[in-house]
Structure 1
Amino acid sequence: MPPIRAGQLDRTLRDRVAGGAFFFHGDEEFLREEAVGRVVAAYVDPATRDFNFDQMRGTDVAAESLASMIGTPPMMAEHRVVIVRDAQGLSVTARDVVLAACKAPPAGLVLVLTAAIPSGSKAKFYDELKKHAVSIEFSPLSHDDAPGWVMESAREETGVEWEPEAARALVGGVGVDLGTLSSEIRKLAAYVQGRKRVTLDDVRAVGGAVPRQDRWAWFDLIAERRFREAIATLPVLLEQGENGVGLVIGMGGTLLRIGLVCAGGQGALERELKPYQKWMARRIGPQARKWSLPEVDRAMTELLRTDRLLKSASLNDRQAIEELLLRLWAVGSRREAA
């Protein structure tokens, strides 16, 4: 069956009353485990959990034991849930047991497999799992995805809204480890209590490691043509661990989104943004009014030039990015002079 998106899992669980097999794969373990939890909540009856719920790791289970657990019918309940984590560690015979159950699940069985598929693996086992089970891939979130994930997760789990600046500051301070971010989301929800909204000041007050210069706020300076401020705060970004190539990539993403608005309007941008980046549209629309499509093209050429300089010339990161910012500043200056 075709893979589904993570956001479709809840609807799939409502529709698949009879149970079946699920395969959650990808390198983002936190999201895989979150999906496992949703399956368990949907199918395991708390009153009979001890009889109808088994979990194991692929590296530890023998094929005979696995076959026995899969073949045991539910007791005093509609479903029996068997979870196999680290399915990449299953033996050849255990993989055969799993595939047989995925192709023809016993009545009442809910079989959940999770795996981080080894890079470059050509094993047919994973293709067969994707073919016969409800399959979702959970890839690590990028820095651009993480603030949106914070806002959405906070809304769903705690009912608290986050201002974009607060979400960006939290990610800038603690990184994209979703377990840590989830813990901070719960901590901030308790802090704001009945206010139901987390601000940048709240993140600072709770003691989060808020960076002195938010990288996304710095990219906003570029988008808004505030190049003097961008040049002044560049050393702070570099001191925080950013590097020239990463900043060029970030600016490129910002300008590509602006270019989409210039070329096709707000709708074109909204269609292309990833699910966790939809919140950016409200901010990028007004920024795009400061650019024309030819100026975006010229700016992208300057970014390419700087990327090559960073990889081949003797300029250090600060010198290369400062020169780039001055050249981008000149792109707008020509329009103003005309």
Structure 2
Amino acid sequence: MTKACPMKPYDIHRYLQGKKELSRVYLVYGEETFLIDETVAQLKARFLDPKITSLNLNAFSGKDADIKRVASSIGAAPMMGDHRLVIVGHIDQAKKSAREKLIPYITSPPKTVYQIYTASKINGREKFYAAVKKNGMTVECKPLYDNQVPRWIESQFQKIGKKIDSRAIQQLHLSVGSQLYDLANEIEKLDIYTQDKKVVTSDHVAFVVGKWRVNSVFDLQKMLGNRQAGEAMVLMRKIIERGEPPVKIVSVLMYFYLGLIKVHTLLKHQTSRSDIAKKARINPYFIGETMTRAKRFRREELEHNLSLLYQVDLALKTSSVPVDALMERLAYQLCAKIGER
């Protein structure tokens, strides 16, 4: 079972449900620990009978593991089941010489044993990792980009049988950030708080997570959508002074303008209000004001604003321009018509 390119975490479920023979060796690596842990949990659930897991599971930490014990576990026969599972976490923290002692078990893995190794960083040219890539399956768990987080949030609520409206997604992302473990913790709280309610709203998020940052940035969006340049510049400065990360503000505004572009496009096709809300993935409660804002801009202005946000995002990450001045000017430019910029 060889896969030259690493799989992504979201491919695992489909892979495990397939009828083809599964690999015996897995390397799950990357900087996003939540996705690593989630992937390992899926593999574990697929490979072991939960009733006898304790009999056929051995877990080690690469930093402290006795490689002889790891090798012995890989070579052991399963008890009261068809397979055993050996997990070695943080294999990158083991000595290189220790990793190389496991190569024979990777190139010729026992048919009754599954092996899972996790790591933060790997050197693909090293013999151990090269052996896994050639003979096993690799899963790369990169941190999500900011524009990928809203979809991830939505998918987590789908897993627990609930929906979350678009404004609530933005609020949650803005308030908590992009760390998946932090978001998962707040999602669990929201699930408990909303109990049997099937839709999580912005009011729920404001109550559970907090109001100030959420309301301030949504007020900023309202001012930008209404082309209130002076008010937007003042509020932008206040938000920055309160310590809100500028990159996060830019990310939320990108999401805002992408939504306006979608609505602007749908309006041209004379789609009904309810259809626009559904296709643009916007809460029907807010679709009226979103349509009004979209009509205030020409398509090229919205696209220009999105391009401007990408430029500012790059400047924030690569230049030494004073942040407060850069962000205030951004607020003005987003409100101005193209000829006035």
TM-score by length of 1: 0.76
**1:251 deviation in Å?**
5.6
Matched letter for residue 140 of structure 2: E
**1:98 deviation in Å?**
3.1
The residue aligned with 2:34 is 30
* Kept after mapping to 2: 8 A contact 1:212/1:236: no
**1:164 deviation in Å?**
2.1
Q: Does 1:44 align with 2:51?
A: no
CA distance in 2, matches of 1:171, 1:261: 22
Contiguous gaps of at least 5 residues in structure 2: 267-277
The residue aligned with 1:111 is 115
* Kept after mapping to 1: 8 A contact 2:170/2:252: no
CA distance in 2, matches of 1:123, 1:306: 36
Contiguous gaps of at least 5 residues in structure 1: 267-278
The residue aligned with 2:75 is 71
Aligned pairs for 1:210-249 within 5 A: 210-213=211-214, 217=218, 220=221, 224=225, 226-228=227-229, 230-242=232-244
Residues 125/226 of structure 1: CA separation in 2 closer, same or farther (3 Å cut): farther
Residues 225/94 of structure 1: CA separation in 2 closer, same or farther (3 Å cut): farther
Q: Does 1:204 align with 2:206?
A: yes
Range with greater deviation from structure 2 (176-185 or 283-292): 283-292
The residue aligned with 1:167 is 169
The counterpart of 1:143, out of the listed 143, 146, 152, is 146
CA distance in 1, matches of 2:221, 2:6: 36
CA distance in 2, matches of 1:112, 1:220: 46
Residue 332 of structure 2 aligns to a residue in which SS? Answer: helix
Matched letter for residue 178 of structure 1: L
* Kept after mapping to 2: 8 A contact 1:32/1:138: yes
* Kept after mapping to 1: 8 A contact 2:227/2:336: no
CA distance in 1, matches of 2:89, 2:312: 46
The counterpart of 1:5, out of the listed 8, 24, 35, is 8
**1:246 deviation in Å?**
6.3
Deviations, residues 38-94 of structure 1 (Å, cap 9, x unaligned): 111111112322321100011112222111111112122111100000010223343
The residue aligned with 2:298 is 291
**1:124 deviation in Å?**
4.4
**1:223 deviation in Å?**
7.5
Q: Count the aligned residue pairs.
A: 316
The counterpart of 2:96, out of the listed 88, 92, 106, is 92
**1:37 deviation in Å?**
0.8
Residue 147 of structure 2 aligns to a residue in which SS? Answer: coil
The residue aligned with 2:331 is 325
CA distance in 1, matches of 2:67, 2:310: 55
Residues 104/170 of structure 1: CA separation in 2 closer, same or farther (3 Å cut): same
Range with greater deviation from structure 2 (288-297 or 85-94): 288-297
